[in-house]
Amino acid sequence: MSQRSERRGIHVDQSELLCKKGCGYYGNAAWQGLCSKCWRDEYQKARQRQIQDDWALAEKLQREEEAAYVSSHSSSQTQPPQSHSQHSLATFSKFEEKKTNEKTRKVTTVKKFFSPSSRTAPKKESHEAKTPSPSITRQSSIETDRVSRDFVEFLKTLHKPGREIHKHSRAFIDSMGNKKQDLSAEELSECVQDFYQGMSDRLLNHFKGSSEKVDRVMDQVEKYIMTRLYKSVFCPETSDDEKKDLATQHRIRALHWVTIQMLCVPVEEEIPEVSDSVVKAITDIIEMDSKRVPRDKLACITSCSKHIFNAIRVTKNEPASADDFLPTLIYIVLKANPPRLQSNIQYITRFCNPSRLMTGEDGYYFTNLCCAVAFIEKLDAQSLNLSPEDFERYMSGQASPRRQDDPAGWPQSGSRVNPVLTQIQHNLSVLSSLEKRQQQVIEGAQSLEAELTEWQESVAREVQEILERYPLDIKPRASAIDAENVENDRLPPPLQPQVFAG
C-alpha cells in the first residue's frame, strides 16, 4: 500500500537519468525512471500483488457472505488481521452508513455470486475464485498501459506544458481513485467536468490563439483519464444504470414486431446496397459498448448515423432530412437492441468533454440517439398510428402484423405472454401448414403418375381394336414400268418422228 503510493509519487527529473534501482543502466520516463529490465520486474511484482489482492478480497467476501448467511451479526464478530482488510471493512462500514438500500442490493448480489460455490469443495472454491482475475486484469492492464504510453509520447511533443498536464492528470486520477467509493454518479461527473474545464482554461493560456491545438490536447487527456477510470465510473453501483439497461433491453425486445411501415421509415431493404448500409449501421451501434473512451463511443454513433443517411439517400435518390433520419434511427435501435444502451448514454453524458456534445457533428448524432431512445420508451399506439386494441395484441404477443394476412391459421384462444413461446407456436403452425401442403403435392404427383400410365395403356388398347376391326390387305407390289422387260421383243419398233418438208 505505502510502496504503491510512493511509486506513484515519483517525480521525473531530467538530471536523474539513471535507473532508480541503481543498477547502472539509464532509466526512461515512460517506465517511471526505471530501465526496461527493472520496469519489467516491477510490473510483474505489481501484477502479482494485484492478483493476490483480488484473491484475498474474493475470499474475504465469501467469508462475509457465509457469516451473514449463518448469523446477522457476523460483521462485529469477524476480526480481520490484515490492515488492508481493515481498511476495506472501514470503507464498507462507511458505505453502509450512507446507503442502506445499496448495501442490501450488494449483499444480495454477493449472496447470489457465492451461493453455488459454497457447496463445492474448498480446493475448487479457491481455484474458481482465482481463475477470472488474471485474464481480466491482464487485458485491462495491457490496454491501460498502451494508452498511458501513448499519452506520455504525445505530451513529450509539448515539452514543459506537457509535464504539467501529465502531473495534473495523474493527480486527478489518484484523487478519483480515493473518492469513487463515496461519490454518486452525478458527483463523479461533476469532478470530471470540473477537471476538463480547469485543464481547458489552463491550456488556453498556454496555446494563445489556437483552439484547435487545445482540442487535440483535450482529446488526449480525455482518452487517458477515461481509460483509467472506466472500470469504476461506467455503470457505477451507486446509480440505477444497470436497472435501466435491463428495462430498455426488455422494452426493445418486446417491440420486435414494429415494422418499417409503422414508423414511416424511408428505407427499402430489398436493395442490396441499402440492406448493406442497414447491417453496417446495426453493427456500429452494437459496437459502441466495446469502446472505453467517450469520444470513441461517439464515433460509433456517428458512423452508424452516416450509414443510415446513406441507406436513405440510396432509397430516395436524394439527400436525407431529419424528418427521415430520426424514424430510421429508431428502427435501427429496435433491430440492434444495443448492449447496455442506457449506461453508455449516461457515461457519454457524464464524462464526455461537454463542448463536443452540445455542438458539433458528434453532438448532433448523439442528441438524435437520445431522442430515439426516449421515443422508444414512450412509444404507444398513437405513435405508430395503431388502434389501442391492435397495439395491445402486438405487445402481448398474441398477434403479429405479418400474421394478419392469414387470420384463420392462428388460433385466437388464450393469451400467451411469453414472446418466445408465441413464436414457437407460430412456427409449429407454419410447419404443420407446410406439411399439409407437401402431402397434397405428393398425392397430386402420385395421381398424375397413375393417370399417365392409364392413358398410355388406353391408347395402346384403342389402336389394337382398330387393327382387328379393319384388317389391312397388302396387294403384291406392281413392278415399275421402266424395269427391264423380258417381253420387249413383242412390241413394235418405236415411232420415229417424221419431218415433212414445208
Partner 1 sequence: MSETYDFLFKFLVIGSAGTGKSCLLHQFIENKFKQDSNHTIGVEFGSRVVNVGGKTVKLQIWDTAGQERFRSVTRSYYRGAAGALLVYDITSRETYNALTNWLTDARTLASPNIVIILCGNKKDLDADREVTFLEASRFAQENELMFLETSALTGENVEEAFLKCARSIPNKIESGELDPERMGSGIQYGDASLRQIRQPRGSAAQTKQQCNC
Q: Which of residues 100-159 bind partner 1 (CB under 8 A)?
A: none
Among 90, 136, 271, 358, binds partner 1 (CB under 8 A): 358
Cα distances (Å, whole numbers) of residue 213 to 30, 154, 216, 353 = 23, 12, 5, 15
Q: Which of residues 203-232 bind partner 1 (CB under 8 A)?
A: 204-205, 207-212, 214-215
As a whole number of angstroms, the distance between CA 159 and CA 206 comes to 12
Shortest distance in whole angstroms from residue 175 CB to partner 1: 19
Shortest distance in whole angstroms from residue 354 CB to partner 1: 7
- Range list of β-strands (E), 411-490: none
As a whole number of angstroms, the distance between CA 195 and CA 267 comes to 43
Among 130, 163, 256, 306, binds partner 1 (CB under 8 A): 306
Of 107, 71, 73, 70, which Cα lies nearest the Cα of 92? 107
Among 119, 123, 160, 378, binds partner 1 (CB under 8 A): 378
Residues sharing a CB contact under 8 Å with residue 106, sequence separation 6 or more, in sequence order: 237
Does residue 361 interact with partner 1 by CB under 8 A? yes
Between residues 210 and 404, which has the closer beta carbon with respect to partner 1? Answer: 210
Total residues in contact with partner 1, by rule CB under 8 A:
43
Does residue 168 interact with partner 1 by CB under 8 A? no
Between residues 199 and 372, which has the closer beta carbon with respect to partner 1? Answer: 372
Between residues 209 and 411, which has the closer beta carbon with respect to partner 1? Answer: 209
Shortest distance in whole angstroms from residue 372 CB to partner 1: 8
Shortest distance in whole angstroms from residue 214 CB to partner 1: 8
Does residue 325 interact with partner 1 by CB under 8 A? yes
Does residue 355 interact with partner 1 by CB under 8 A? yes
Helices (H), 180-293: 185-206, 211-233, 241-254, 260-263, 272-287
439-466 b/e with 16+ CB inside 10 Å = b? eeeeeeeeeeeeeeeeeeeeeeeeeeee
Check if the beta carbon of residue 294 is closer than 8 Å to that of residue 226: yes
Enter the C-alpha cell of residue 210.
Answer: 489556437
Among 282, 320, 345, 348, binds partner 1 (CB under 8 A): 320
Does residue 367 interact with partner 1 by CB under 8 A? yes
Three-state DSSP state, 34: strand
Using CB under 8 A as the criterion, which residues of the chain lie in contact with partner 1 when the complex forms?
A: 201, 204-205, 207-212, 214-215, 264, 305-306, 309, 313, 317-323, 325-327, 354-355, 358-361, 364-365, 367, 370-372, 374-375, 378, 382-383
